[in-house]
Amino acid sequence: MRVRDLMLVGGVGLGGTAMMIGRAATPPGATISGKVTFTGTPPKMKPIDMAKEPFCARLHAAAPVLTENVTTGPSDALRWVLVYVSAGDQGSAPATETVRLDQKGCQYIPHVLVVQPNQPLDIYNDDSTSHNIHPLAKVNAEWNKSQPIGAPPIHAKWESPEFIPVKCNVHPWMHGWHLVLTTSHYAVTGEDGAFRLQGLPPGKYTITAWQEQFGTQSQDVTVTGSETKSVSFVFKATPY
C-alpha cells in the first residue's frame, strides 16, 4: 500500500490528520506510526503581500496567506514534514497513479508533493491569471514552463530521487517542494504532526523525518509480524 500526502487524479482530495490517502483495506505487515513536534520558539510566518497580483489579493482579502516553510499545529505539532523509509526498504512496485499539483490562489497545493521516479505528474492552473512553474532540479533536468489562463495541464515526471524546490517566476512568493522517493512507504504530516507507515515486511528500517528549514532526523526501527511501533521526532525550533 502506498501512503500518500498527495492528491490523486480521480477526485480524491487531501484529508486526514496526517494527510495520508490509501486503499480502504489495511495492508499486511507491520506499521510504524508517530508524531513530529518541535521544542523552542518557531519563526513567525509572515503574511504574503499579493498586491502585485490583484486577482489573488482579492481571494485572500479576508485572511492573508502565510509563508509555509515552518507551519505549526496544536500541541507543538509540525506540518509539512516528510517521514519515509530511507534505508531497509525491501522494494516498491513502480507507482503508476497520476499525481496532481494545483496552482490555486497563487499558491502551490500541496506545498509538499511526493512522487516516485517516472510517476506521472499533472500540473494545473486553477487561477484567472497566468502562472509559471520552475523546479530547481540539480540531479534531474531543470525546466521552466509558463501556464496561461485556461491552459491544459503540464504533464511531467522526474526520473531520479531528489528533493526539488519549486518557485514561480511570475509570483515570487509561490514556493513548494517536489520530493522524489524510491520508496512507497512515506507520509507527510498534517496539522497534528501525525504519520503512519503501513505494510512493512519484518526487518530493520531507517525512518527519516525531513523538514525544509530544520533539516532531517533519522531513527532505526525493527519490526516483526503485524506489530505497530511508535516513533517520535522532535525538532529544535529557533525564531529566525
CB under 8 A, 24+ apart: contacts of 22-29: 22/198, 26/1, 26/198, 26/199, 27/1, 27/198, 27/199, 28/199, 28/226, 29/198, 29/199, 29/200, 29/201, 29/202, 29/226
Cell of 185: 512507504
Exposed, middle or buried by CB within 10 Å (0-12, 13-18, 19+), for 85?
A: buried
5 vs 218, residue with greater confidence? 218
- 199 SS3 class: strand
Binning pLDDT at 50, 70 and 90, where does residue 76 land? very high
What is the overall mean pLDDT for the chain? 90
What is the C-alpha to C-alpha distance for residues 53 and 46, in angstroms, rounded to an integer? 18
Reported as a pLDDT band with limits 50, 70 and 90, residue 90 is confident
Q: What pairing do the DSSP bridges indicate for beta strands 99-103 and 121-125? A: parallel
Task: Select the CATH number that applies to the domain covering 3-237 from these four: 3.40.50.1370, 3.90.1150.10, 2.60.40.420, 3.40.50.11610.
Answer: 2.60.40.420
Residue 2 has pLDDT above 50, yes or no: no
Dist CA 40 CA 42 (whole Å)? 6
User: Which residue from 205, 227, 239 is spatially nearest to 83, judged by alpha carbons?
Assistant: 205
- Three-class SS of residue 197? strand
Longest CA–CA separation in the chain, Å: 56
Q: According to the model, what pLDDT value does residue 25 have?
A: 62
Indicate the pLDDT class of residue 8, thresholds 50, 70 and 90: very low
Taking only the tens place, the pLDDT of each residue in 98-138 is 999 999 999 999 999 999 999 999 999 999 999 999 999 99
Pick from 131, 71, 129, 79: nearest CA to 101: 131
Range name among 2-6, 23-27, 129-133 with the lowest pLDDT average: 2-6
Q: Each residue of 31-75: pLDDT tens digit?
A: 999 999 999 999 999 999 999 999 999 999 999 999 999 999 999
* Look-up of cell digits 503574511: 47
CA distance 53 to 130: 10
Record the pTM: 0.88
Q: What percent of the chain has pLDDT over 70?
A: 89
Q: Do the beta carbons of residue 85 and residue 185 sit within 8 Å?
A: yes
